[in-house]
Structures are given as structure tokens and as C-alpha cells.
Chains A and B, each alone.
Chain A
């Protein structure tokens, strides 16, 4: 399984996209429909991510880079591979004007930062260096000096992301329940 890093202050270089970046653009259907969730599938997803609009993108992204996008980022399919592919590419965060519902939930579920910052596309250009502070909830563009506030995650969302995703939350609960004797008879 793929987990994002969990630092609260992120600094990175921007790759900028437009509105309505859908899950077929991020991870095309032919790369998501046949996988077994193994290393081979992760490689295929990474190497084909964004291929229809930025061929060979995986060669350009460096660990810690940030993806900035417009309205309704991640609309479309429920495919979690779109989220995990961003982590595989090395992105530390997605920052968009708005983020599609399932894409946002899936990001939280795998412990990957996805934040909505209205106005982000007017204040940030490709190649800019950003500092995203998820303690003070500030976004600073180190290239042009502009700074904006970020709406904090809800307490629950914050807890799931910092746990490393919902399966880690599940695991902890199962372990606690097992100590109480629950699940003893199953499987």
C-alpha cells in the first residue's frame, strides 16, 4: 500500500493544471482496470499518469513537488489509483480551487494531503516554490511572496490523515478489539 509522508510543513515546486482534471486524465482506464494492486500495477499507473496531456510526466516530477489545479480536481471515477498515482509520482500535496468529493475522501483515506484554496490559480504559476504550513494553516508563495490562509481540515479528517489513512485507523481499532477477545472465532 502507498502512504504519503506526514509532515505538517511542506515545501515544494509547483506543477500547474487547469479546471476539471478528471480521473481518466490522471490514471487512464486501461491502466486501472486490470491491476492486482502489486508493484507492477503501481509502476504502470505512475508511468501513464497524465499521459494524454503531459506525456512522460513521471520523468519530470521530483519527490516533494506540489500539484496545483483549478476547479473540481479529480472529478469522475471513484478509482483510488488516481490518488495513489500522485503519491507514487512524488507529490506531497494537491492544492486546488476545489476538489471532487470522492477524490477528496480517497485522499484522506490514504493519508494524502488534498486542500482547497479558492484563488490559488491566480496566485501561483508553474515552477513557483510554495510553503504549505498545516500547523498555522498558511500558504506562502516563496517565489512571489504572496501569502494566503488555508481553511483547516476538520478534526476528524486531520486525525485520519495523521494516522496514515483510514486503514491504519481500522488496524488500530481491530488490534484493540482483538485484545478484548473480539474477532477470535473468524477466519
Chain B
């Protein structure tokens, strides 16, 4: 019996010929990427009485520490935490410590670090985004990462896999975000609970890496443990441009599912007729087609995050707003996911186009997604392409957050009300 991508990687990482869903394995970790939360890994070990914290790091060439969520620091406590992190990084003798010039951890991971076929862990729930480049990535808490960092292994329950087959072509004004929202609307946020998702079919192949990142990142909003794309020419082309960690590039082991792999569920999505999707407050699966809620007045519009702060997303916004002006009374905030994305946007003239249209462009990071910048007051209505619309996620619990694709956000920013981007594109 054949295996899925997740099963194959779990088998390889645990030194077994075959594994089955439900089986517990002790798997060797290929890579760990941690953000500011690494400080908690260190303090958790110390608090448990492990003198000096972690006694060693299993492989310094496979551990990356990135100070990224909030650069530059937003207040004194955060600055103090960063200061402590720098001390800890030095004490552990870390090889790959990235401090001032970062961006969202997942963008950095995909640009510079993770490889196809790896089993990789991140200190953030959206680490599933790495599946965009065929990396079996997932988020873990600090206590578990403490264990994995010392011994290079961790326990896993081999997940079942859901196959999501995308057929047809998306309308030019739609993106991976619409597909993720549609799936949540149809199947809820518990769709893939404890399961892996494989995105496949012609619609998946046609997506750029940025489009795949958006869909893979949202595997966690669909409850999933992994959100995986196969390896193809698009992946190879993207990785060919990599300029960091070149000494490890040969370690890539692209993984495809066996032709007779067994899936617990197969879901087909026809992209041809898909309407832009919007999640209403306060949950990712409270989804309707945009036509159902078009016309709701908004105060703030945002494009950014690991899922949708990539170059394609910024290009989409520019395509819609270039030569126009954001509606009066609306704040359009754009946050590129990394400085590389920022630079590419600058080189293409996107930043100027955005400023001309009346947008604000923020330095890369996770600020927008959790209201660390652009916080919302009670009564504010925001439409955003960031990752979550939980109550209070961006400030006041009385703010209303709608989630949508960058195109829908941009169209809404121009109109001052929630709007269908297909009327503009």
C-alpha cells in the first residue's frame, strides 16, 4: 500500500520502511526555526531546574533563530526581551542567528532555509506555510522545541491525509486566499483536525509559490497539521534563486505521494466558478461570497502577514490601486512579509504606486496580523488579508474584522465599502 507525502516523510524521519496513520513515531527533525519565543525555550529549561538551560543544541547548522515578529521593538519590555535573546544566542553559540533585518519568520524560512522533503518545526502556528515548497513543516510550542533542540527528535502521531484537488483556473482577481476561505466555509476550521492536507491537481500546479504559501499557511486555519504541495518546476525555479544556506541545498529530497497512497478524504474544488470569499467576524469559517456582504462600510484595509504579504499580493494591490486614490476615511496599510519582498516591491515601483494611492507602507513583520500596529478601536471595521479575525485579535473586542484576499481588500479600500474585486480587475 502506498504512502502520502506526510507518511513518507514520517517513515524516513523515524527510520522505518512504512508507517500508518495513527502510529506513534519518534522522528528525527531536519530543521528547527524559532522566533522571539526561543527565550521561553531557554527559560522553561532553566525553570525546570536544568542548570544553564539547554545543555547543547543537537545541530547548530539546522537551527535558525530569528528576531522577527516585532522589529524594531515596540516597547521597553520587548526591547529587553530582544536584549536577553541576543545574550542567549551568544551563550548557545548559535551559528544562524538573524537579528535586525528580518521579516515574517515563514517568508524568511521559505526564502532562505527550508528544503523540500524536510521535517521541520517552527515556534509559530503558521509554520505549515513551508509546505508551499514541499517541506513538511508545522508549529510547536516552546516546551516541545526545548526537547527537540537538545536531542533532534520528537514524538509524532502519523496523521491521516486529506487530498484537496483543485481543478480549473482562478479568475485573475482571486488567489489562494479565496480557496482557503472557501474550504473553511464549506468544511469548517475543524476540517483537517490532526490531519495533513495535500493540495494537488491542475489548479494547485498553476499557483505561484506566493499563491501556494497563502493556501499552505492557512492549513492551520483548516485545523491541519501539515499543508503540503508537491515539488515541481515552480518549486525548483523558486529555489534556484536562493542565495542563503547554499551548502545545504543538495540535501533537498523532494517527496511525491505514491500513486496508490491512501487518503482519508478527497475534496474537489472547481476554481472556474469561484467567487471571491470573505470571512465575517469572528471566525475563519464564517465565510460568504463577497456579493452577499458587498457595501458594508470599512475604516481600515490591510494587506500583509505570512499568508499574504508576499510580492504577488503586493503586485495585486498595485494592479488595483495604481493611479487611483484610497477612499476618504479609509486607512490602507500594506506590510511586505520580508525585506526581500520590500526591496523587490521598491525595484518594481510598487512602493511609490502605493504611496501615490494614499496607502501606508510598514516595515516587514507580524505587527498588522495581531494589532501591534494599526490597532482597532471599538466600532472600527477592518477588511484584511492577514491570517485571523478572532474577536479582539487586532485590539478592541468590539472591532469587526473581515478576512479576504489582497484583491478584495484593495477593491474595498478604493470603494470605502466591502467590494468585489472582479469589478475593478
Contacts and interface: CB of A to CB of B under 8 A. Distances in A.
Interface of A: 1, 20, 22-25, 28-30, 33-37, 51-53, 71-72, 75-80, 83, 98, 100-102, 105-106, 109-110, 154, 156, 165-171, 173-174, 178, 183, 186-187
B282 to A, nearest CB: 8
B92 interface: yes
Contacts of B150: 170, 174
Interface in B215-245: 220-221, 223-225
A51 B392 CA distance: 9
Contact of A36 (B49, B77, B124, B194): B77
B106 to A, nearest CB: 12
A29 B371 contact: yes
B128 to A, nearest CB: 10
A24 B283 contact: no
A156 B74 CA distance: 41
A173 B69 CA distance: 32
Given A80-B142, A101-B194, A109-B144, A171 B55 contact: no
Nearest to B26: A156
Interface string B387-407: 010111101010000000000
Interface size class of B (residues with CB under 8 A): 35 or more
B123 interface: yes
A72 B39 CA distance: 28
B63 interface: no
Contact of B55 (A29, A105, A154, A187): A187
A94 B193 CA distance: 17
A45 to B, nearest CB: 12
A47 to B, nearest CB: 15
B360 interface: no
Contact of A106 (B141, B372, B397): B141
Contact of B81 (A1, A25, A34): A34
Contact of B50 (A72, A78, A79, A174): A174
A112 to B, nearest CB: 11
B391 A25 contact: yes
B143 A166 contact: yes
A101 B91 CA distance: 33
A164 to B, nearest CB: 9
B377 interface: no
B125 A154 contact: no
Contacts of A78: 123-125, 139-141
B258 interface: no
Contacts of B49: 171
A29 B370 CA distance: 6
The list of the 10 closest CB pairs from A to B, nearest first, reads A52-B397, A1-B47, A183-B55, A29-B370, A109-B143, A24-B390, A106-B141, A78-B125, A52-B392, A78-B139
8 contacts: A1-B43, A33-B70, A36-B84, A76-B390, A100-B223, A186-B56, A187-B53, A187-B55
Given A36-B43, A106-B144, 9 more contacts: A29-B371, A33-B69, A37-B39, A72-B190, A75-B221, A75-B223, A98-B190, A166-B147, A186-B56
Contact of B392 (A25, A34, A110, A174): A25
Interface in B359-392: 370-372, 388, 390-392
Contacts of B43: 1, 36-37
Contacts of B391: 24-25, 52-53
B345 interface: no
The SS class assigned to the B binding surface is loop
B45 interface: yes
B80 interface: yes
Contacts of A53: 391, 397
Contacts of B223: 72, 75, 100-101
B299 to A, nearest CB: 19
B175 interface: no
B193 A98 contact: yes
B40 interface: yes
A105 B190 contact: no
Interface string B50-94: 101101100000000000011000110110110010000001110
A34 B75 contact: yes
B92 A105 contact: no
A183 B56 contact: yes
Contacts of B139: 78, 102
A106 B253 CA distance: 30
Nearest to A75: B189
B1 interface: no
Contact of B48 (A20, A80, A167): A167
Contacts of A102: 125, 139-141, 220
Contacts of B92: 187
Contacts of A165: 143
Which of B39, B48, B188 has most chain A Cβ within 10 Å? B48
B120 to A, nearest CB: 14
B60 to A, nearest CB: 11
Contacts of A166: 143-144, 146-147
B388 A171 contact: no
A168 B45 CA distance: 9
Contacts of B146: 166-167, 170
Interface string B272-290: 0000000000010100000
A23 B370 CA distance: 12
